[in-house]
């Protein structure tokens, strides 16, 4: 059987181009892996084998990933041939009349999409345990642990070798959290680098953006190059790239000023194994010739986290209201956290949305000023190794406690949402591993618009400390 863990998507695409393997054979292999692995993982849903085979028969675009099996996150990424539950019983079996811009751009690379991957309801969780899928999504490295969220199904599917790479999205770490949890590479581009339309003007006040879960930096770079740029009528766009992400990784970056933080950005200690992984990466960067110094960003993180929480609550409430279409909000349609977010949003002043957006923008200026003293901010991706399944269940209706309580998502993931708010590019790279064998992601962030320099640094670290040979060991 074809082994999707043996090489990355770029390597497999070369095999297709040379005739060593056909798109049909790769699709057969992916479907066989779904049958073998998905019962334990619960990561892949809404299979559309007929649409995939029809695409192959019609002739695939001759893009950089022609013939490779691919999965869409089951949240957003609207596509005519791929119905969606959007992670919720409220939106189960939604069909679309037109494709989203991001889907069309991914399709232009020649990928063979054959289904979707699980996500938590409303995309507001750090774990993927949505009721519409009948149970939690589990981590291929240890089935008792979460694969992360909200692109948790994508992370599990790629880490397990069901597909060589997959689509995700990131509004508060939803690509980087699964990347950290599953031992993958996850990159959040600068705000508006990728298109949102036509179904959305902007996601969560511009904080949400699409992305990819990959096993190599070059796979992400090539997919970003294929998908970057605003869609027709976009309200704003990212700064123009100097050349391309692929060009940037073709050579090492300049020697950079790296600020290292082995605590949270407010100075709170994190899990000792995770902190040591951060320090080890700092030493690696020093050995590569970069200047590494301790620092905390001078920015109002608590203000940002509350503003993020309020914006997402209001976005969730709007989505729930639109989905209900006049029906009562009941437990069988909407899960606890989303009900709690909706109830909380209804307590907020109508003026709070614009106030919260203003706070997010002020925070972005604070973070931009912080980066005047350094080029890269190095931290952990998560404050501890991947959580156990059930810890971030959506059963609770205490939305504020779930997000910003002492045991909430922001305590577990205090780094990622910072850069959704600031709009800066950020990445999680799989450089660490816990004593229990669980992946530990290392987080790197750069100034607004400096995507190319950040991805080049990630590629340099990948070359210095390769991770491709690591394989999950707890898949039945």
d(CA 1, CA 18): 19
Beta bridge partners of residue 380, listed in sequence order: 442
The 3-state DSSP composition of the chain as helix, strand, coil percent (nearest 5) reads 40, 15, 45
Beta strand pairing call for 185-188 and 138-139? unpaired
Beta strand pairing call for 138-139 and 257-260? unpaired
Write out the two tokens for 244. Answer: 């391309």
Walk along the chain (476 residues) and give the pLDDT tens digit of each residue.
Answer: 799 999 999 999 999 999 999 999 999 999 999 999 999 999 999 999 999 999 999 999 999 999 999 999 999 999 999 999 999 999 999 999 999 999 999 999 999 999 999 999 999 999 999 999 999 999 999 999 999 999 999 999 999 999 999 999 999 999 999 999 999 999 999 999 999 999 999 999 999 999 999 999 999 999 999 999 999 999 999 999 999 999 999 999 999 999 999 999 999 999 999 999 999 999 999 999 999 999 999 999 999 999 999 999 999 999 999 999 999 999 999 999 999 999 999 999 999 999 999 999 999 999 999 999 999 999 999 999 999 999 999 999 999 999 999 999 999 999 999 999 999 999 999 999 999 999 999 999 999 999 999 999 999 999 999 999 999 986 64
Q: Catalytic residue numbers? A: 73, 150, 174
Whether residue 48 contacts residue 35, with contact meaning beta carbons closer than 8 Å, is answered with no
Beta bridge partners of residue 210, listed in sequence order: 169
- State residue 290's pLDDT score: 98
Q: Which residues of 229-263 are buried (b: 16+ CB within 10 A; e: fewer)?
A: bbbeebeeebeebeebbbebbeeebeebebbbbbb
CA torsion, points 412, 287, 159, 64, in degrees to nearest 10? Answer: 120
How many Cα atoms sit within 13 Å of 244 on the Cβ side?
A: 12
- Structural domains of the chain, ranges and CATH numbers in brackets: 9-301+357-464 (3.90.1300.10)
- Other C-beta atoms closer than 10 Å to the C-beta of 291 total 13
The CB-based long-range contact list for 198-203 (8 Å cut-off, 24+ gap) reads 198/98, 198/100, 198/101, 198/231, 198/232, 198/233, 199/76, 199/78, 199/96, 199/100, 200/76, 201/235, 202/235, 203/76, 203/169, 203/171
Whether residue 41 contacts residue 152, with contact meaning beta carbons closer than 8 Å, is answered with no
Q: Burial, 352: exposed, middle or buried (Cβ in 10 Å; 0-12, 13-18, 19+)?
A: middle
Four-residue CA torsion sign, 107, 126, 472, 429? positive
**Phi/psi zone of residue 5: left (φ > 0), alpha (ψ -120 to 50 degrees), beta?**
alpha
- State residue 475's pLDDT score: 62
- State residue 476's pLDDT score: 46
């Amino acid at each position: 059987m074809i082994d999707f863990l043996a090489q990355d998507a770029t390597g497999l695409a070369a095999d297709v181009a040379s005739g060593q393997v056909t798109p049909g054979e790769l699709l057969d292999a992916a479907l066989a892996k779904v049958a073998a692995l998905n019962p334990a993982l619960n990561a892949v849903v809404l299979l559309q084998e007929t649409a995939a085979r029809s695409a192959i028969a019609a002739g695939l675009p001759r893009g950089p990933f022609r013939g490779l099996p691919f999965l869409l996150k089951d949240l957003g990424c609207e596509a005519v041939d791929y119905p969606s539950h959007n992670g919720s019983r409220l939106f189960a079996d939604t069909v679309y009349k037109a494709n989203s811009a991001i889907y069309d751009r991914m399709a232009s690379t020649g990928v063979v999409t054959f289904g979707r991957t699980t996500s938590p309801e409303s995309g507001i969780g750090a774990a993927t345990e949505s009721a519409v899928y009948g149970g939690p999504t589990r981590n291929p490295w240890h089935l008792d642990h979460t694969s992360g969220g909200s692109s948790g199904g994508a992370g599990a599917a790629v880490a397990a070798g069901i597909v060589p790479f997959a689509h995700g999205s990131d509004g508060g770490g939803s690509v980087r959290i699964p990347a950290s949890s599953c031992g993958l590479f996850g990159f959040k581009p600068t705000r508006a680098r990728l298109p949102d339309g036509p179904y959305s003007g902007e996601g969560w006040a511009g904080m949400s953006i699409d992305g990819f879960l990959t096993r190599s930096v070059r796979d992400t770079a090539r997919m970003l190059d294929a998908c970057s740029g605003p869609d027709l009528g976009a309200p704003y766009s990212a700064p123009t790239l100097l050349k391309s992400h692929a060009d940037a990784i073709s050579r090492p970056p300049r020697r950079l000023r790296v600020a290292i933080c082995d605590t949270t950005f407010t100075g709170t200690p994190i899990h000792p194994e995770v902190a040591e992984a951060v320090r080890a990466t700092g030493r690696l960067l020093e050995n590569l010739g970069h200047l590494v110094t301790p620092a905390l960003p001078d920015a109002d993180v608590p203000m940002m986290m509350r503003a993020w929480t309020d914006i997402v609550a209001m976005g969730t409430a709007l989505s729930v209201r639109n989905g209900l279409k006049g029906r009562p909000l009941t437990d069988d349609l909407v899960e606890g956290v989303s009900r709690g977010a909706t109830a909380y949003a209804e307590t907020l002043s109508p003026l709070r949305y614009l106030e919260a957006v203003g706070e997010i923008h002020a925070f972005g200026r604070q973070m931009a000023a912080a980066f005047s003293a350094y080029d890269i901010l190095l931290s952990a991706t998560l404050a501890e190794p991947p959580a156990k399944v059930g810890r971030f269940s959506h059963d609770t209706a205490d939305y504020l406690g779930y997000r910003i309580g002492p045991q909430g998502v922001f305590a577990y993931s205090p780094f990622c949402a910072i850069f959704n708010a600031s709009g800066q590019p950020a990445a999680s790279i799989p450089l660490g591993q816990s004593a229990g064998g669980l992946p530990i992601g290392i987080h790197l962030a750069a100034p607004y618009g400096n995507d190319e320099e950040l991805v080049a640094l990630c590629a340099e670290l990948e070359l210095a400390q390769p991770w491709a040979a690591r394989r999950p060991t707890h898949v039945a």
